[in-house]
Amino acid sequence: MWLNNLVMADTGQNVNINVEGEKISAITSSTSENKSGLTFENAIVFPGLINSHDHLDFNLFPQLGTDTYKNYSEWGKHLHTNYKAEIDAVLKVSQPLREKWGIYKNLLAGVTTVLNHGKNVGIKNKLINIYERKHDLHSVAFDRYWRLRLNNPFKRKLPVVIHAGEGTDRAAKKEIDTLLKWNLLKRDLIAIHGVAMRSEQARQFKALVWCPESNYYLLNKTAPINELKLDTRILFGTDSTLTGKWNIWDHIRLAQKTLLLHDMELYHSLNCTAAGIWEINTGTLFMGMSADIVVAKKKEIDPMDAFFATNPADILLVMSKGRIRVIDATLYPLIAANLKHRKYSLIKIGDSYKYVQGDLTGLIKAIKKYYPEAQLPVEAVPTKP
């Protein structure tokens, strides 16, 4: 299938992309239309985003917390003391349903790979790639047996992903040193947050996942990414809606405003840099790579400015492993015959209508049944039988 007349977000090159099976089979710079596919007008293309930190089953929660906290432990105590009713309301929805919504939350924003932190996702999923070839520890403070788990010889080849230095006080800074001291097997460490991290500590981590919106919401401060990027690789994550908005593009624009990364560094933290750390065949648009592709309206003259101006309503197409997962309603009739063997739901997001693979309409109804006050950013649209 050809995707025609697209502007590369990073290079500005006008391209056509052909997808065969799960991979990109050709990229041409020709502006001629290939009739066996879709032709776009005024659209940018970029690799499916890689969200390197989320908790998929925590994305029905509203943002909780009213103070500026010294560290995540202080926030956790405040959360469970003051928000029991809000937490119980969300937990009436079963974990599988919450995980499904977490997947859709990412997919609708153009995320095709997610690093879910915690236990492996227990539901069948064909929509996006949930990367699980890693060993998750929660943190030094909340994981009672973290020393034993960190030094598990049977998992020494897996990278360890752990919340570290999520705070502004002395305890947060000391926590990182404690973690490094106990890494007896010298396993690859990938830290999440790292607000209290120093450069000499960063050198001992394979990567740091930056979650600026979560950091500012809880701590009113984020990691010194402009310094740490000299000593480790920087990836990008949203965390869950407990501490951030559902829309990853809001997080990306906040990160851009900090000026802690150059625009291209920030762009790469969401694709090729992350793909390199996780060792996955995605993150770039090139022949032989996995066809994880996002096409969006080009709202700015400069393609990179258009990338940062994107919102879920602007996304025209999301393809994961060569399959169309999301398509704008204006384009759907052009290829509906090719998609009739798969179920799609019609939803409204912002002022746009999208067809989304799977029974998202049924999921919304199920969530509302158990959690009527759920504030979802999408609306199911009835379709004719």
What is the model's pLDDT at position 33?
64
Q: What is the mean pLDDT of residues 332-353?
A: 91
Banded model confidence at residue 31, pLDDT cuts 50, 70, 90: low
What is the model's pLDDT at position 37?
87
Banded model confidence at residue 303, pLDDT cuts 50, 70, 90: very high
Q: What is the mean pLDDT of residues 77-97?
A: 96
Q: What is the percentage of the chain residues whose pLDDT exceeds 70?
A: 98
Nearest by Cα to 194 from 184, 183, 181, 179: 179
What is the model's pLDDT at position 385?
46
Token output for 124: 């069948």
Other C-beta atoms lying within 10 Å of the C-beta of residue 383? 10
Residue 383 pLDDT exceeds 90: no
Residues 181, 73: Cα–Cα separation, whole Å: 21
What is the model's pLDDT at position 177?
97
Average confidence score pLDDT of the chain: 95
Q: What is the mean pLDDT of residues 131-152?
A: 95
Q: What is the percentage of the chain residues whose pLDDT exceeds 90?
A: 92
Residue 384 pLDDT exceeds 60: no
What is the model's pLDDT at position 29?
87
